[in-house]
Amino acid sequence: MEEIKQKAEYCLHCKTEPCKKGCPLENNIPDFIEEVKKENIKSAYQILSKTTVLQPICGLICPHMSQCQGNCVRRFKGLPTSIGEMEAYVGKKALEEKIPFEEEPIEKKGKKIAVIGGGPAGLTCSAFLARKGYAVTIYEKHKELRRNFSTWNSCLSS
């Protein structure tokens, strides 16, 4: 944890939030890093989980250098803040400690939506629709959704 905390201390917490602007999900990177500084992994996880339902995966496979880290102002005079490494750490800890995502109360819409494909996009779409109160059914060609994640499972176990 000490090494990750040092990486969090390296962040300048810029007012213009260029890292957040470089993230296609618009993760609240400065606030999640502040929670890492305080060693509050649960809160950091909650912040990241508001914009992604696959947070532990994003920390591992997202191309950080061309997105959030690529927009970090620290890159002009050295290395950018290690956002991806911190995000992966938070995700791994959340899985190890079985930290649940704290959902806000959902108002049911009474409408059904079908999502084709149980890959990352289909699962993300389904989760955000469910968060909005829709009943979602995922149609997948495989019998189990986890077959799509065999490479991700190996990343998570390392």
For residue 155, tell me if it sits in a domain.
no
Same domain, 74 and 144: no
CB atoms within 10 A of CB 30: 17
Same domain, 65 and 129: no
For residue 127, tell me if it sits in a domain.
yes
What's the pTM value of the predicted model, to 2 decimals?
0.78
Taking only the tens of pLDDT, the chain with its 158 residues reads 899 999 999 999 999 999 999 998 899 999 999 999 999 999 999 999 988 888 888 888 889 999 999 999 999 999 999 999 999 999 999 999 999 887 777 888 899 999 998 887 888 889 889 988 999 999 988 877 655 444 444 444 44
Number of domains observed in the structure of the chain: 2
Task: Give the domain extent around 41.
Answer: 2-96
Same domain, 31 and 69: yes
